[in-house]
Amino acid sequence: MSAHATANSNFNSALNQATFKAQTFSALLGGSAQGVGGQSGVGSFAALLAGHGTVGNSALFDPSAAFAMMSRINVSEVDFKAQFAELSAMRTELGAVRSEAASLLGGINSASDKTAVKSALQGFAADYNHWVQRFDADMQSGGILANTQAAQVSRFAMEKSVSDIFTGATDGLHGLRDLGLEIDPTTRLATVDTARLDAALIRNPSGVTAAVSELNAKFARAADLLNADGNFLRNRLGNLERVIGYIKTNKTSLQAEYGPGNAANPSTPVARALAAYNASQKI
């Protein structure tokens, strides 16, 4: 075989291997192109391995480009683990705030006095806000969960369960805002206007307690749906688990092909989430 033919054969073989790797990673994550921590997303990672990213096919032949490719793989591995840890924490915390809401709101009925209703709504708002604030930095641009649909949908769904204008409609109310419970459009936090709540309790006490019970049911339903098998949170966690496992299984061969690459240098939040992941996996 001529040298030219051999070179072409080697190129095609290398390109086929890279394309196969890209298809594998895309399949593992359902073709997602979501970013992780504002850095290397699954889509760009797959494109990188396919030879369509910043490094390009030259990575297959240029040692420095290959080293850069492996460096990006190292960063991606850390980012995927950090996202897995934070998304797992979000799922766990969502279950906790759902239980706390049920405890606070579930005890409110027509026999509850004004103080009990007010305390329940204020406690609910505080617990809800704790959940939002726990992951607020993660959800900002460049955060660990900034481009993660599962996290975005979760926060949106829980917010809508609180701000639904049809809550209490059968009792003459226009959502929980008539009770003084609203989501601030800027901070995305729940607020309770106690003066408005007091007025609603005087004007329509049975409607208020019915609306609180309806809120409890809607909040629980939204949380249960998000945490259900086959839904956003578990699907994304399963996808991340598979791609992390794939990198772990193939890292030695990837390093043999591209070189060791530079070690990832994660930000403090990513490093903290990575430590949580390692602790959960007993690494």
Mean pLDDT across the chain: 83
Surface-to-core class of residue 23, CB atoms within 10 Å of its CB (0-12 exposed, 13-18 middle, 19+ buried): middle
Residue 53 CA from chain centroid, whole number = 25
Please give the pLDDT value at position 21.
Answer: 55
Report the pLDDT averaged over residues 140-154: 92
Can you tell me whether residue 12 is helix, strand or coil?
Answer: helix
- pLDDT by residue (tens digit) across 85-139? 999 999 999 999 999 999 999 999 989 999 999 999 999 999 999 999 999 999 9
Buried b (16+ CB within 10 A) or exposed e, 149-158: ebbeebbebb
Please give the pLDDT value at position 50.
Answer: 52
Which has the minimum average pLDDT: 28-37, 100-109, 202-211, 217-226?
A: 28-37
Token look-up 């997602």 returns 32
pTM: 0.80
Q: What percent of the chain has pLDDT over 90?
A: 61
Which has the minimum average pLDDT: 132-141, 229-238, 264-273?
A: 229-238
- pLDDT by residue (tens digit) across 36-88? 433 334 454 555 555 434 344 444 557 788 888 888 889 989 999 999 999 99
Q: How far apart are CA 59 and CA 258, in angstroms?
A: 8
